Amino acid sequence: MKYNNPVIKGFYPDPSICKADGAYYLVCSSFQYFPGVPIFESKDLINWTQIGHCLTRKSQIQLDTVNSSGGVFAPTIRYNNGRFYMTTTNDTTRQNFYVWTDDIYGEWSEPVFVDQGGIDPDLYFEDGKAFFMSNGTDDYGVGGIVQCEIDIETGRKLTPSRSVWQGTGGRYLESPHLYKINGRYYLLAAEGGTEYGHMVTYARGDSPSGPFKAYPQNPVLTNRNLGGYELQGVGHSDLIQDDEGNWWLFHLGFRQIGRWLTFHHLGREVFLTPVTFGEDGWFTAGHNGTTLTSFETDRIPDTVIQQEKKVYTFENTDWNLDWCYLRHPATENYRLEQDKATLLGTELTLDVPASPTFIGIRQMDFRAAISCDVSLTNGEAGISLYMDEHHHYDLAVRKDESGYKVIERLNIGDIKSIENEVELGADNHAALIIKASHERYSFFVHADGKEILLGTAQTKYLSSEVAGGFTGVVIGLYVYGENSLAEFSNFKCKYE
């Protein structure tokens, strides 16, 4: 069969995967968004359904003072003796921790902290022992991939943290994962930084703690030299064996907006690449060590059809799964129903690193038509194409002393400009429309039986190359202002 990449679209970076009871489970980073660490399930590795989040309570993760692209960094999910474990980092508080559950569809535990620094933690289980790894500096001041043995019940270190591998010389050695395959231990990592130089590297040894010898042909997977190619930033991977014995890499990557336009705003996404082990025990990945937009493979039966959801509405999404908040929300300000959302505003705007009244869904493809009816009592309410508090485009209904109007506002760094407005008079309702393409967003209001164009803006100013950070554009519904109340209905996001 032929499958297309990415297999999970939109801002779902740093994938990690495990297998349990005939299904596969995958988690991703969530940074400043809540709930934290989305969980996906699949039976075939191609089609994924979100089933929950690992961090659903304020007691599990501190996000109140987290800057954009802070908070919850790369997670790892593992299954051992009937229990699921997810370990991650709160990069803002510099704490590594894990949570666990015996029911993948239920709630997860309170955090168990591990006194080891660095980011991108990993758990490896063998013979009743639990090994904890991260990137950073060990107890002796040596940098690299750092490992210790822990008491899995308490998180207490049973051995000193020791650097077990220093990588191949690329910058930002990170994303360690350890596996035992055919009697050898394989240590997977990422180097080069999660941008255009990103790459997957690995080494192997005869014990969980090494010494590890690097694969002679590292990097095993990278798109760093593919100029003019849509898929870039390939790295941060996790290895999985399917039920037929085939091996795969799940990894992040991103799609740039054009062949020669080196900007990406959808965030880092989830890609799937086949892996092949040689007789010498080393493995190769992808097409000559690169990832493609599609793979033809006989590893997956032709009966498996890759499904893709093209239309997202209030009615066919789940508020608790598909949608997210900025940091910890004041839940009393949200009334979320099957066909509408009623939001109560506060003095917090989208321009501050806090939790304004905002609920969003990730933008999952370049070409889209986004629409929503908005009714407002006071203040401002509308749709935001949100990258962070300094980079977002807003199409909103606003009330001032002259009545109601629709505004198009662009926020790019220190430049915040209302580009256009359409007067509504006493009418406090508007049908807002945003049309997205690879390179531009166009902003409309539907009035008098026609679409009125307010203006356009380039997508690249919401990209990671401009804004920085590690997230992607989230389509947010928001309201702010004293005594402001807004009702959102007829939401639709339709992808071409």
Q: Which residues pair with 495 in a beta bridge?
A: 368
Mean pLDDT on 426-440: 97
> For 112-149, what is each residue's pLDDT tens digit?
999 999 999 999 999 999 999 999 999 999 999 999 99
Show me where the domains of the chain are located. 2-296, 311-495
Query: What pLDDT does 448 receive?
Result: 79
Q: Rounded to 5 degrees, what angle do the CA atoms 395, 401, 403 make?
A: 55
Residue with tokens 């799940």: 250
Decide if pLDDT at 301 tops 90.
Answer: yes
Q: Is residue 124 within 8 Å of residue 130, measured between CB atoms?
A: yes
Using DSSP bridges, classify how beta strands 391-400 and 357-362 pair: parallel, antiparallel or unpaired: unpaired
Q: Is residue 42 within 8 Å of residue 49, measured between CB atoms?
A: yes
Q: Is 489 exposed, middle or buried (0-12, 13-18, 19+ CB in 10 A)?
A: middle
Mean pLDDT on 412-432: 96
Report how far residue 319's alpha carbon sits from residue 488's, in angstroms, rounded to the nearest whole number. 14
CATH code for the structural domain at 311-495: 2.60.120.200
Report how far residue 170's alpha carbon sits from residue 219's, in angstroms, rounded to the nearest whole number. 10
- Out of 14, 91, 388, 487, the active site residue is 14
Q: Assess if CATH 2.40.160.10 describes domain 2-296.
A: no
Decide if pLDDT at 449 tops 90.
Answer: no
Q: Which residues pair with 375 in a beta bridge?
A: 429, 487
Q: Is 260 helix (H, G, I), strand (E, B) or coil?
A: coil
pLDDT-derived band at 447 (thresholds 50, 70, 90) equals confident
> Does residue 174 have an active-site annotation?
yes
> For 52-88, what is each residue's pLDDT tens digit?
999 999 999 999 989 999 999 999 999 999 999 999 9
CB-CB neighbours of 409 under 10 Å:
24
Report how far residue 333's alpha carbon sits from residue 344's, in angstroms, rounded to the nearest whole number. 5
Query: What pLDDT does 123 receive?
Result: 98
Q: Which residue type occupies 216? A: P
Query: What pLDDT does 210 receive?
Result: 95
Decide if pLDDT at 457 tops 90.
Answer: yes
- Out of 138, 174, 191, 487, the active site residue is 174
> For 340-379, what is each residue's pLDDT tens digit?
999 999 999 999 999 999 999 999 999 999 999 999 999 9
Report how far residue 401's alpha carbon sits from residue 378's, in angstroms, rounded to the nearest whole number. 11
pLDDT-derived band at 299 (thresholds 50, 70, 90) equals very high
The pTM for the full model equals 0.97
